[in-house]
A and B are shown apart, each in its own frame.
Chain A
Amino acid sequence: MRLIVKQLDGTETEVTGRLNWTVMELIRDAGLPMRAECGGSCACATCHVYIDQDWMEKVGGRNDEESYTLDGAFNVQDNSRLSCQITFKPELDGLSMTLTKDATG
């Protein structure tokens, strides 16, 4: 299982998918830039990613707390998610996303 993680400069990295890890943890574990300042407690918006549109349905929407926390992010789009709030499941195998500047610093 894997994730496809793209960066704003166009680089694309395949990241191992591990069940029940959050997407933020998987990206950080792979050594990619991931600030995630609050460590995954949905408090800082520095793990902000853009989910590829064709994955939005499987990933699902934001919860209320996440919507509030995204108020501290920039350039928020309808496909914006906090990667610490997405738990990796088998159906997300192949999930593709782009890291925002909030996340990479």
Chain B
Amino acid sequence: MADGSVSEASLHMGETGPIETDVVIIGAGPVGLFAVFELGLNDMKSHLIDILDRPGGQCAELYPEKPIYDIPALPSVTGQGLTDRLMEQIKPFHPVFHFSQMAESLRKTEDGRWHIETDAGTALIAKVVVIAAGGGSFMPKKPPIAGIEAYEAKSVFYAVRRMETFRDRSILIAGGGDSALDWTLNLQPMASELQLIHRRDDFRAAPDSVAKMRELVAAGKVKLHIGQIVSLEGEGGQLAGVRVKPDNGDDYVVQCDCMLPFFGLTMKLGPVANFGLNLTENLIPVDTAKFETSEQGIFAIGDINSYPGKLKLILSGFHEAALMAQEAFRIVHPTARYRFQYTTSSSSLQEKLGVSA
């Protein structure tokens, strides 16, 4: 589940201060993952930040089971399959992941490095930052109901951070997918009342969860409404009920004191927009030799960048990662000489990969 998990690294932070590393990669999609490989071959250690609770980005969130046919030398691979293979490929470089967190701020330190902080309070300092954020951060879809903002974080929640928040509350959960059903099952025992609303009487969630929900409904422990929410009722951010429009029949009000809408995720550029980088139509312009942004030491690769001839393909992102790593090396190891080598023939690269004879 995407909510409530804390990365190991953030637990270990405490008084020790920011984590220092060579490179921070924002986004653990396929391109961010492959960047770990290219950076690793060139002796740079990476930390990755991702708002999802697992690697893969869009491949994991949008099409884990759908085949991709245009990855060179992989005639067909699913989004999850590609992610798994990349994870295996970068294993020798021991990347550190900070999942379920969003990179929130970026500033230059006095010694010319970059200080990054996440919304979970993880702080990192790196010589190079690579933005591989794809279409932006995956965030919960917010129902376009008039005035809903006034209730957010008070009685309308898009995630469960702490289950205790919902003890003895009269909860309405909206949606028909796994998040909606999982939380219906998990929160029902502690809620004073739990109601579920979905547009139609057919659920895409795991069949086992659907069966359990149906049992609770049959036992009178969960009330199921079929319809769509048209408006909210309440005062001062405190929800009193929602008006529901069933497919046929008249509107009615479902009383509840909090609501959890689960309509899936959508991509928003998010705080990257405030990093002080040049942006063109929510994309980050880069040069095509280094894939560097308007700030030295900050690179943008994959779907989030733009340049003449750009194609939003995973394979383009892989190429961009390789060229980025070449320039990143000059920043991270300023006194060393960049050495171009092939993994097939270089014993030093093979040693880094753990495949040397």
Q: Is A38 touching B264 in the complex (CB atoms < 8 A)? A: no
- How far is it, in angstroms, between the C-alpha of A37 and the C-alpha of B135 when the chains are bound? 8
Stretch at the interface among A16-24, A43-51, A86-94: A43-51
A67-B202 in contact given A43-B62, A76-B228, A101-B144 (Cβ < 8 Å): yes
A71-B62 in contact given A37-B135, A44-B266, A76-B199 (Cβ < 8 Å): no
Interface size on B, residues (CB 8 A): 22
- How far is it, in angstroms, between the C-alpha of A70 and the C-alpha of B204 when the chains are bound? 11
Q: Is B199 touching A37 in the complex (CB atoms < 8 A)? A: no
Q: Which of A35-71 contact B (CB under 8 A)?
A: 37-39, 41, 43-46, 67-68, 70-71
0/1 per residue, B46-89, Cβ < 8 Å to A?
00000000000010001100100000000000000000000000
User: Inside 8 A of B263's CB, which chain A residues have their CB?
Assistant: 71-74
A75 at the interface (CB under 8 A from B): yes
Which of A37, A46, A67, A75 is B144 in contact with, Cβ under 8 Å?
A75
User: Inside 8 A of A41's CB, which chain B residues have their CB?
Assistant: 62-63, 66
0/1 per residue, B196-229, Cβ < 8 Å to A?
0011101010000000000000000000000010
User: Inside 8 A of A76's CB, which chain B residues have their CB?
Assistant: 199, 228
A71-B143 in contact given A38-B63, A41-B66, A76-B228 (Cβ < 8 Å): no
How many Å from the CB of A57 to the closest CB on chain B? 20
User: Inside 8 A of B63's CB, which chain A residues have their CB?
Assistant: 38, 41, 43
User: Inside 8 A of B175's CB, which chain A residues have their CB?
Assistant: 71
B177 at the interface (CB under 8 A from A): yes
Which of A44, A73, A101 is B62 in contact with, Cβ under 8 Å?
A44
How many Å from the CB of B229 to the closest CB on chain A? 9
User: Inside 8 A of B144's CB, which chain A residues have their CB?
Assistant: 74-75, 101
Q: Is B141 touching A72 in the complex (CB atoms < 8 A)? A: yes
In the complex, what residue of chain B is closest to A41 when comparing beta carbons? B63
18 interchain pairs, CB-CB under 8 A: A38-B63, A41-B62, A41-B66, A43-B63, A68-B204, A71-B175, A71-B176, A71-B198, A71-B200, A71-B204, A72-B141, A72-B263, A73-B263, A74-B143, A74-B228, A74-B263, A76-B199, A101-B144
Closest 9 A/B residue pairs (Cβ): A72-B264, A68-B204, A43-B62, A38-B62, A71-B176, A72-B263, A41-B63, A101-B144, A43-B63
14 further contact pairs, Cβ within 8 A, besides A38-B63, A45-B264, A72-B177? A38-B62, A39-B312, A43-B63, A44-B62, A44-B264, A44-B266, A46-B266, A67-B200, A67-B202, A71-B204, A71-B264, A72-B264, A73-B263, A75-B228
Chain B interface (Cβ < 8 Å from any Cβ of A): 58, 62-63, 66, 135, 141, 143-144, 175-177, 198-200, 202, 204, 228, 263-264, 266-267, 312
Chain A interface (Cβ < 8 Å from any Cβ of B): 37-39, 41, 43-46, 67-68, 70-76, 101
